[in-house]
């Protein structure tokens, strides 16, 4: 692994084309862009000397000059079919980062539209939230996304409204090498509201090399509940850098499932602030790495108020020469008494060449708390393989079934049927030696 990050990477290159968005949107949105561009210039580019990037070498991303997408790609309904889910639900589709109204659908009971339009039509709903949950994150790529803030999904669920069907947000990348998109999502649940959102990133071409730099901001109001599913199924050569920042109010609940299916380098950061008494969050994740993939899942939960509960459960299956990184940080403020927080990171390593770095952190300043964390790294247990062998199954089959079972523990918690079914199939095909 190269120890030294790219020297002399020209920062100005990252901001090329930023002026294209300068004049769009309300004044405060323009201010966010300008401020973020300045902030990007102030921040150091990620390198291995920085604690947050210690194990994550993103030199290939820094080395590649990515351009903004120009022009529209012609995509028809049949090409998109395998990536969409049926049912009468709200749907927002973006092709190469640009909103595709012809594939998108609105639904009763929820406000879902693309952000650039919402910035004018729903300005009062957006202004109090947009850019407010990033809390001065030191990640320069988050600053870069804000500097290019243009479009993405805007979902708003009104007070006490429970939207039954999931809201699908689909980002499709066509074959466009060396391009970058900046999806920017904002999900706001007013008090007592409930919704499920599925954010998926897919590629039409399995070999194209592009960068997705996305931000999702989430505000969960009092007693509101959001379940966010994030499916990262990028092209095998693509890069995905994402930041999700969440604030949960009193009695609110934020659940997430983050599934990394493919992508050359994936860094999917989730930060949740429990900012009201009795708030809850549970973050689930599954990463399935192979080839020379690098998948990094930094998670952070901040217990800012008393009586909050949290759970982090991430599982990983590593194969070939892949490298996975996990860090889970639980920070308990002095006032956050009666915190109950649990964290578990389990890794199954299938190949001798794979590398796993896991870092479960606890920082606790309150005394009346219960916090635990655990991490494991290993192969499928010998005894279980033996059990299968005594019943006449080959070792390959035993390993395949055990791996499938291990990964499926995360997938089978997914409550949306079509999403779960499709993912279970994916996991099954990937690990089970039994022909489907």
Partner 1 sequence: MSTTKDTIPGAEYTGTRVEQSTREIEEMANQSYKYGWATEIESETFEPGLNEDIIARLSAKKEEPAWLLDWRIKAFRQWQTLTEPTWPNVSYPKIDYQSQRYYSAPKREKKQLSSLDEVDKELLETFEKLGIPLDEQKRLAGVAVDAVFDSVSVATTHKEILKKKGIIFCSFSEAVHECPELIQKYLGSVVPANDNFFAALNSAVFSDGSFCYIPKGVKCPMDLSTYFRINAAETGQFERTLIISDEGAYVNYLEGCTAPMRDENQLHAAVVELVALDNATINYSTVQNWYAGDKTGKGGIYNFVTKRGKCQGVNSRISWTQVETGSAITWKYPSCLLMGDNSVGEFYSVAVSNNYQQADTGTKMIHMGRNTKSTIISKTISAGHGNNSYRGQVMVMPKAANARNYTQCDSLLIGNQCGAHTFPYIEVRNNTSSVEHEASTSKISEDQLFYCKQRGIGTEDAISMVVNGFCKEVFDHLPMEFAVEASNLLKVSLEGSVG
138 by Cβ neighbours in 10 Å (0-12 / 13-18 / 19+) ranks as middle
Q: Which is nearer to partner 1, 85 or 404 (CB)?
A: 404
CB of 51 to partner 1, least distance (A): 8
Q: Which of 185/347 has CB closer to partner 1?
A: 347
| Closest CB to partner 1 among residues 45, 371 | 371
Q: How far apart are CA 189 and CA 109, in angstroms?
A: 12
Instruction: Name which of 180 and 295 has its Cβ closer to partner 1.
Output: 295
The whole-angstrom separation of Cα 407 and Cα 287 is 9
Least separation, in Å, of the C-beta of 364 and partner 1?
Answer: 5
Q: Are strands 210-220 and 370-378 parallel, antiparallel or unpaired?
A: unpaired
Q: Which is nearer to partner 1, 110 or 318 (CB)?
A: 318
Annotate 234-296 with DSSP letters as a single string.
--TT-EEEEEEEEEE-TT-EEEEEEEEEE-SEEEEEEEEEE-STT-EEEEEEEEEE-TT-EEE
Q: Smallest gap, in angstroms, from Cβ of residue 273 to partner 1? A: 19
- Residue (of 103, 101, 227, 99) closest to 153 by Cα position: 99
Given a contact cutoff of 8 angstroms between Cβ atoms, the answer to whether 200 and 94 are in contact is: no
C-alpha distances in angstroms, 269 versus 11, 52, 245? 22, 11, 8
CB of 372 to partner 1, least distance (A): 4
CB of 354 to partner 1, least distance (A): 6
To partner 1, the closest distance from the beta carbon of 337 in angstroms equals 7
Which H/E stretch holds residue 398?
helix 395-411
Taking the complex as a whole, the smallest distance from the CB of residue 339 to partner 1 amounts, in Å, to 10
What angle do helix axes 140-147 and 27-42 make, rounded to 10 degrees? 150
Query: In whole angstroms, what separates CA 292 from the centre of its chain?
Result: 20
Q: Which two tokens stand for residue 374?
A: 């655990």
Q: Decide whether 11 or 338 has the Cβ nearer to partner 1.
A: 338
- C-alpha to C-alpha distance for 190 and 155, rounded to whole angstroms: 11
**Each residue of 265-289: b (16+ CB within 10 Å) or e?**
bbbbbbbbbbbbebbbbbbbbbbbb
Residue 206 or 374 with smaller CB distance to partner 1: 374
Nearer to partner 1 (CB atom), residue 72 or residue 363: 363
By the criterion CB under 8 A, which residues form the site for partner 1?
A: 51, 55, 318, 334, 337, 347, 349-379
Task: Provide the residue count of the chain.
Answer: 436
Least Å from the CB of residue 299 to partner 1: 15
* Minimum CB distance to partner 1, residue 321 (Å): 11
Tell me whether residue 23 or residue 383 sits nearer to partner 1 (CB atom). Answer: 383
> Among candidates 244, 286, 238, which has minimal Cα distance to 404?
286
């Amino acid at each position: 692994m190269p120890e030294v990050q790219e020297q002399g990477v020209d920062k100005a290159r990252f901001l090329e084309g930023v002026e294209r968005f300068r004049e769009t949107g309300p004044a405060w949105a323009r201010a966010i862009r300008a401020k973020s561009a300045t902030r990007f210039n102030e921040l150091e580019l990620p390198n291995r000397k920085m604690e947050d990037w210690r194990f994550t070498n993103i030199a290939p991303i820094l080395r590649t000059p990515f351009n903004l997408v120009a022009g529209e790609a012609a995509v028809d309904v049949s090409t998109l079919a395998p990536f969409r889910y049926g049912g009468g639900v709200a749907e927002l589709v973006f092709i190469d980062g640009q909103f595709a109204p012809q594939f998108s659908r609105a639904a009763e009971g929820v406000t879902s539209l693309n952000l650039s339009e919402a910035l004018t039509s729903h300005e009062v709903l957006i202004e109090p939230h947009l850019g407010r949950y990033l809390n001065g994150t030191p990640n320069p790529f988050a600053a870069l996304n804000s500097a290019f803030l243009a479009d993405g999904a805007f979902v708003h669920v009104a007070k006490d409204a429970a939207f039954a069907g999931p809201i699908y947000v689909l980002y499709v990348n066509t074959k466009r090498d060396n391009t970058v998109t900046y999806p920017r999502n904002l999900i706001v649940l007013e008090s007592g509201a409930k919704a499920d959102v599925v954010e998926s990133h897919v590629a039409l071409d399995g070999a194209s090399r592009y960068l997705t730099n996305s931000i999702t901001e989430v505000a969960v109001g009092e007693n509101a509940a959001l379940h966010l599913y994030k499916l990262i199924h990028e092209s095998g050569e693509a890069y995905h850098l994402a930041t999700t920042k969440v604030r949960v109010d009193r009695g609110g609940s934020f659940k997430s499932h983050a599934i990394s299916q493919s992508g050359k380098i994936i860094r999917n950061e989730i930060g949740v602030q429990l900012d009201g008494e009795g708030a809850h969050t549970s973050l689930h994740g599954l990463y399935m790495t192979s080839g020379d993939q690098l998948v990094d899942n930094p998670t952070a939960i901040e217990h800012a108020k008393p009586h909050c509960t949290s759970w982090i459960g991430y599982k990983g299956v590593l194969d070939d020469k892949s490298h996975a990184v996990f860090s889970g940080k639980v920070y308990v403020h002095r006032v956050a008494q009666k915190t109950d927080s649990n964290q578990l990171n389990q890794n199954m390593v299938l190949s001798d060449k794979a590398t796993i770095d896991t870092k479960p952190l606890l920082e606790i300043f309150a005394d009346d708390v219960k916090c635990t964390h655990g991490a494991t790294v290993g192969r499928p247990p010998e005894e279980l393989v033996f059990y299968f062998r005594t019943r006449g199954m080959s070792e390959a089959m035993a390993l395949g079934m055990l791996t499938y079972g291990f990964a499926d523990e995360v997938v089978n918690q997914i409550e949306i049927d079509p999403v779960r079914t499709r993912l279970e199939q994916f996991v099954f095909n990937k690990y089970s030696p039994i022909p489907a």
